[in-house]
Amino acid sequence: MYDEKKIKRFKTIVGIVVAVLIFIVAYSVGHYTANAGGQAKNVPQKVTASKNELSRSTVEKFDLAFFTKKDLGENRNRYKDLMTEAMYNQEVAEENKPVNQAYKGMVIDQALKSQNIYIDQKNNTALVDVEYTNTQLKEPGNLKTALKDQNNNATLKLSFVKQGKKYLVNEIKWVSLVEAGSSSTNSGSVSFSSSSSSSSAGTAASSSSTTSSSAASSSSDDNDTNNDLAASYQLW
């Protein structure tokens, strides 16, 4: 005859062991799922524009035309149709300034290498962080002593206006990038700060054959820029 007490005790022990195993498995699965979900949230999400909104392709097209040129002013025919008439005239005037003309023929073969684009759909603005290369001559026409494939970086705030079915650049500001803290949700948002007025930015960038311009006067740009750049930009 079996000992009923021992049988009951054995069943109780087995039940406890099974319950503990179920708890451990359930906890492990839940913990893994939570971690996987958290990691997915921390990956910057790229968004897409609707048909009538400012799109990444529009910004990319402008960046390519603006930063790719064989010499100062050579790319005017490519970026002209991507700007408003007022912006185009101002950019041409900026390029024609003596401080920029002094480097004509000395900084050549500029080419866009890469770009990060952040768009504020509400205000039709884009922040672009670009990397480009160029060749810098030490002596006019002498490629033997030239510094080739020089890496350069620039960050711009582009303001667009919609004319008909197209978004055109109406303002260009040169800014400095400040990465947002990574301890948050890391949604791809960034903040920017003004580095200088548009006129002085053009002077500083002359050595890399990149000019700058702005549709507003430089005296009021610095005060307005801090407010303008407080908007939320998403990675595209």
CATH code of 189's domain: 3.10.450.230
At 66-83, the pLDDT tens digits run: 999 999 999 999 999 999
The whole-number pLDDT of residue 23 equals 80
Cα–Cα distance, 183 to 42 (Å, whole number): 10
Does residue 133 form part of some domain? yes
Does residue 113 form part of some domain? yes
In terms of residue numbers, what domain contains 98? 56-235
Q: How many CA atoms lie within 13 A of 225 on its CB side?
A: 27
Q: Are residues 23 and 117 in the same domain?
A: no
Does residue 13 form part of some domain? yes
Q: Are residues 89 and 152 in the same domain?
A: yes
Per-residue pLDDT of the chain (236 residues; tens, 9 = 90+): 556 777 777 778 877 877 778 888 887 777 776 666 555 555 555 556 566 899 999 999 999 999 999 999 999 999 999 999 999 999 999 999 999 999 999 999 999 999 999 999 999 999 999 999 999 999 999 999 999 999 999 999 999 999 999 999 999 999 986 654 444 334 455 554 444 334 333 333 333 444 434 333 333 444 444 444 445 666 66
Q: Is 179 helix (H, G, I), strand (E, B) or coil?
A: coil
Does residue 43 form part of some domain? no
User: Long-range contacts for 37-41 (Cβ within 8 Å, ≥24 apart)?
Assistant: 41/185
Q: Are residues 77 and 18 in the same domain?
A: no
Q: Are residues 196 and 147 in the same domain?
A: yes
Does residue 12 form part of some domain? yes
Q: How many domains does the chain have?
A: 2
Does residue 192 form part of some domain? yes
Q: Are residues 29 and 61 in the same domain?
A: no
Does residue 176 form part of some domain? yes
Q: Are residues 98 and 182 in the same domain?
A: yes
Q: Are residues 3 and 112 in the same domain?
A: no
**Hey, how many other C-beta atoms are within 10 angstroms of the C-beta on 74?**
14
Q: Are residues 19 and 76 in the same domain?
A: no
Cα–Cα distance, 91 to 107 (Å, whole number): 18
**Cα–Cα distances in angstroms (integers) from residue 148 to residues 42, 55, 119, in the given order:** 39, 33, 33
Does residue 51 form part of some domain? no
Q: Are residues 22 and 139 in the same domain?
A: no
Q: Are residues 111 and 213 in the same domain?
A: yes
Q: Are residues 60 and 23 in the same domain?
A: no
Give pTM, 2 decimals.
0.62
